[in-house]
Amino acid sequence: MKVGVVGAGAVGATAAFAMVMSGSASEVVLVDLNEKMAMAQAQDIAHAVPFAHPTVVRHGSYADLAGAGVIVLTAGVAQKPGETRLQLLERNARVFAAIIPAALAVAPDAVLLVATNPVDVMTQVAARISGLDRTRVIGSGTILDTARFRALLAARLGVTPKSVHAYVLGEHGDSEVLVWSGAMAAGVPVDSCAAQLGRPLTEGDRASIDEGVRRAAYRIIDGKGHTAFGIGGGLSRIVAAIAGDERAVLTCSILNDSVLGVPEVALSLPRVVGARGVLETVMPDLSDEEAVALKRSAEILKDAATSVEGTLETGV
């Protein structure tokens, strides 16, 4: 499947590289306002093809996105000193208002995959601007947070993360919800597995894992200025699910009709992902505390999205 990546910075280029290494795309086209950078990134990634999968990697213009099955949106502006979150959202909304119509003009059947932060609000913005069925506008959401949760749980249990099933829901951000009540390992509740392995989970362990998931991005950004590898891998995984019509269950974000009574809000829940985007959504069984936290996360995101609605209505 042909994939377009709009935004050839660290996240876009790393996602393209991950697609080459995993074989999730047959062709990747990088588009960026900085054409020289897009060309350099494409050439650099193409040099890894002999070590991975036979993927065509090139840079181009919006016209070169024709025929793409997925268009990954990683473009956006950085927050300026003294700039409010709302001001940043409004500027990124203007970026999307320019990008999305240009991309869909040549690839009207593509699924939009949003990675630009704040990703949940930007997914809602993309859904509004594009006019596409909301199941075809997917945000990377908490796919990375879920991976972090599983990795930290697995490390505590001494097993591979592939044997741990646990989800992070809601916002990709501070209000996200780690669903401990449904966490499983080796087919049993995680507390039972931990006890059987002689590694019981204490409240301190839970707090440490929660903090490790919730604050991971802050530590990485403090150390190197940005995150890229984890989210690049997550974007490649979503692309693979679409390309292969896998019906894989992944925690990603779309604009929902309602979540726990909060209407018209984009956030992450477990989604069945296939060729046409999100095919189904599963609402997990939650503890009372988790349900309250998820509703609060939805309210936070709804407030942020509402703050930019007027911008969209006036044509950005």
- Residues designated as active site: 172
Indicate the pairing of strand 137-139 with strand 111-114: parallel
CA distance 157 to 177: 21
Listed in sequence order, the DSSP H helices in 158-256 are: 190-196, 203-214, 216-224, 229-243
* Distance, CA of 281 to CA of 17 (rounded, Å): 29
Give the Å distances, CA to CA, from 282 to 132, 134, 166, 206: 22, 16, 14, 25
CB of 121 within 8 A of CB of 96? no
Chain centre to alpha carbon of residue 158: 27
- Alpha helices (H) along 5-84: 10-22, 35-46
Q: What are φ and ψ of residue 284, in 5° steps? A: -65, 155
Who contacts 263 (Cβ-Cβ below 8 Å, separation ≥6)? 257, 302
